[in-house]
Structures are given as structure tokens and as C-alpha cells.
């Protein structure tokens, strides 16, 4: 990245308003995504990241409108393709803070093919899924995180599909930072976003973000009544088995940092690979053929 703006770099303390774009959110009143957006502003301000050093990549869906509301670089991209596009951005500009934001349908239905690969590669990015268990933008169809029995516009007789469990999934496919947070608890959400951005590697946050329009007030009430914080339970996030246990806790929906692992991120590993390749170039064709000459 060019350092042309060195003059305005030192010691500026950015505030929340510095990250707000001129576009006002058009989410429905009561949408959980407002909470996630507010927390993201807070987190960016706390980390004091210059807005031109952040890129927010989204897919398609209500929550994927988010980059338009943040005055950073942004890319409202292709449905389900947040992670490959974010990987491209990160590989092109490793010094940029890359954040992916999208919904449960975008990530865990049409985008599911990409999820394990970004996670296992440990692409250094933060992936926030605003999980409302419904397709909101297309007006109320069944989502992959909806529960058995849920009646939606495409499950008139009740869903018969076992839902995707985002947190379990992400721990198992190799995400090195996995958290869950309630959009209605902006402090917790902002703290986790800060930690996720600071984490070197693939950081996933399952943001419980209720949909007032298609899930009613009940969804929000359920989340508020049934979430608990793992900090209150002496949880050791470095222990994968304990992380999976608390992810599926019978006591309710666990929130907080569930799992974290220190592992070199993809861009660093790739830099090493490139260094090795530069020092020891690919053998000449003659050298290869030499091996077959008896």
C-alpha cells in the first residue's frame, strides 16, 4: 500500500462518526443488524484503524447491505461468495484489515462450499455472519439455520431439515477463532469484533441478529432469555473439546469467545512459500529430464 497520507497518520484518534458513511441503513425497525453495525463502528474506533486500511466484503442479503453504511473500502459482492472475494482482497493487499459480513443464507446455504476452505486456509480476516435464521431480503423463505418445525414461506408444513450449527461447523472445519454474540448486547459484540480483528487468522463471529419482520418479536425475546456468557463459566477457549461442549450447551446459547487457536495465517505461510520459491527456483526442464536418463 502506498503511504501517501503519512501526514495524517500519526496519533489521530478516530471516532465512531468517522466510520459512518452518508448512506442511512434501510433495515426494518427492530432489525438486529443495527446492533452489529453499531458494534462494528465501536470496534473500528477502538482499534483506531484508518478507514482506508479496512475493506468490508459482503454477499447478498439484508445484512450484506452493511458495507454501504461504513466509510471504509467496501465491496457488496456476489451472493455466497464473500469468502473467495475476501481471500482475493487479502492476497492482493495483505496489510489491509479484511472483514466479511453477510447472512446465514449467504454463508451457510449458497456459500457453504467456500466456508470450510477459507477457514482451513486460515485466511487472516474477520467473518461476521448476521444469523437471523430466515431469508429476509427475498421476504421470508427457509434458511439453513432455521429450526425443525419452523414455518416459513417455503416451509408451509414446517421445516424437516436439521439446521446448520454455525459455531460447531466453524470449529470443526478449522477456523482459528470462533465466537458467538448477541446483536442486542453491543458491548459484547464490539469487544469480540475487536478481538476478531486483532486475531491473526480466520476469525468467525456468529452474530445472533433477530429479524423482526419475518421472525416477530419472539425471536429477539428468545435470544435475550436464553443466552449466557462463557466468561461466567470459566471457559478455556484454547480447548477444542470444551469449546464444542459449550457450543452445544444444554443450559442455553453460549456467547463469547468459544474457541481460539494460534496458527500462522495463509498470507504469512504464502509469503514463506514465495521466499522459498525465490531462493530455490523450479528446476530447469533439462534437470528434470536428467532424472529419467539411466
Partner 1 sequence: MAKMLIKGNEAIVKGALLAGCEAYFGYPITPASEIAEAASVYFPEVGGTFLQAESEVGAINMVYGAAGAGQRVMTASSSPGISLKQEGVSYIAGSELPAVIVDIMRGGPGLGNIAPEQSDYNQVVKGGGHGNYKTIALAPNSAQEMCDLTMLAFELADKYRNPVYVVADGFIGQMMEPVEFPKPNRNIPEKPWAVKGTAETSDNLISSIELDPDDLEEHNRKMQRKYQEMRESEVRYQAYHCDDAEIILIGFGIVSRVIQSAVDELRAQGVKVGMLRPITLFPFPSDVIRQYTDQVSKFWVMELNNGQMVDDVRLAVENRVPVKFHGRMGGNVVGTDEIIEKVLEEESA
Interface with partner 1 by CB under 8 A: which residues? 60, 76, 78-80, 105, 109-110, 112-113, 135, 137-139, 141-142, 144, 153-157
Q: What is the 3-state secondary structure (H, E, C) of 203-217?
A: EEEEEECCCHHHHHH
Q: Shortest gap between Cβ of 55 and partner 1 (angstroms)?
A: 18
| Residue (of 134, 22, 14, 126) closest to 70 by Cα position | 22
Give 153 or 274: the residue with its C-beta nearer to partner 1: 153
Give 135 or 259: the residue with its C-beta nearer to partner 1: 135
CA distances from 118 to 49, 59, 88, 233, 280 (A): 24, 15, 11, 30, 28
Q: Shortest gap between Cβ of 70 and partner 1 (angstroms)?
A: 19
Cβ distance 44 to 60 under 8 Å? no
Q: Which residues pair with 178 in a beta bridge?
A: 204, 259
Q: Shortest gap between Cβ of 107 and partner 1 (angstroms)?
A: 11
Q: Shortest gap between Cβ of 212 and partner 1 (angstroms)?
A: 19
Give 85 or 189: the residue with its C-beta nearer to partner 1: 85
Q: What distance in Å separates the CA atoms of residue 2 and residue 108, rounded to the nearest whole number?
A: 36
Give 73 or 135: the residue with its C-beta nearer to partner 1: 135
Q: Shortest gap between Cβ of 153 and partner 1 (angstroms)?
A: 5
DSSP 27: P
Cβ distance 56 to 41 under 8 Å? no
Cβ distance 103 to 130 under 8 Å? yes
Q: Shortest gap between Cβ of 41 and partner 1 (angstroms)?
A: 25
Give 16 or 112: the residue with its C-beta nearer to partner 1: 112
Give 58 or 227: the residue with its C-beta nearer to partner 1: 58
Q: Are strands 227-229 and 253-260 parallel, antiparallel or unpaired?
A: parallel
Cβ distance 133 to 213 under 8 Å? no
Q: Shortest gap between Cβ of 146 and partner 1 (angstroms)?
A: 10
- For residue 232 the three cell numbers come to 461466567
Give 113 or 252: the residue with its C-beta nearer to partner 1: 113
Amino acid at each position: 500500500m502506498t503511504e501517501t497520507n503519512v501526514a495524517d497518520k500519526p496519533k489521530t484518534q478516530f471516532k465512531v462518526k468517522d466510520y459512518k458513511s452518508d448512506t442511512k441503513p434501510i433495515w426494518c425497525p427492530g432489525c438486529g443488524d443495527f446492533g452489529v453495525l453499531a458494534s462494528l463502528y465501536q470496534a473500528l474506533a477502538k482499534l483506531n484503524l484508518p478507514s482506508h486500511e479496512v475493506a468490508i466484503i459482503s454477499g447478498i442479503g439484508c445484512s450484506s447491505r452493511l458495507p454501504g453504511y461504513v466509510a471504509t473500502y467496501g465491496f457488496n459482492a456476489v451472493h455466497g461468495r464473500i469468502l473467495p472475494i475476501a481471500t482475493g482482497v487479502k492476497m492482493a493487499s495483505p496489510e489491509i484489515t479484511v472483514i466479511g459480513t453477510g447472512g446465514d443464507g449467504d454463508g451457510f446455504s449458497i456459500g457453504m462450499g467456500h466456508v470450510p476452505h477459507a477457514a482451513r486456509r486460515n485466511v487472516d480476516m474477520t467473518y461476521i455472519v448476521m444469523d437471523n435464521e430466515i431469508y429476509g431480503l427475498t421476504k421470508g423463505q427457509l434458511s439453513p439455520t432455521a429450526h425443525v418445525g419452523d414455518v416459513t414461506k417455503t416451509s408451509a408444513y414446517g421445516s424437516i431439515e436439521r439446521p446448520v450449527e454455525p459455531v460447531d461447523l466453524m470449529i470443526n472445519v478449522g477456523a482459528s477463532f470462533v465466537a458467538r454474540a448477541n446483536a442486542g448486547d453491543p458491548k459484547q459484540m464490539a469487544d469480540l469484533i475487536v478481538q476478531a480483528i486483532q486475531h491473526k487468522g480466520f476469525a468467525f463471529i456468529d452474530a445472533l441478529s433477530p429479524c423482526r419482520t419475518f421472525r416477530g418479536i419472539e425471536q429477539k425475546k428468545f435470544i435475550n432469555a436464553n443466552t449466557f456468557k462463557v466468561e461466567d463459566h470459566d471457559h478455556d477457549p484454547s480447548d477444542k473439546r470444551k469449546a464444542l461442549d459449550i457450543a452445544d450447551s444444554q443450559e442455553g446459547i453460549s456467547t463469547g469467545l468459544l474457541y481460539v487457536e494460534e496458527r500462522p495465517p495463509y498470507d504469512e505461510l504464502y509469503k514463506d512459500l514465495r521466499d522459498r520459491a525465490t531462493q530455490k527456483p523450479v528446476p530447469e526442464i533439462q534437470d528434470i529430464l536428467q532424472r529419467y536418463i539411466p
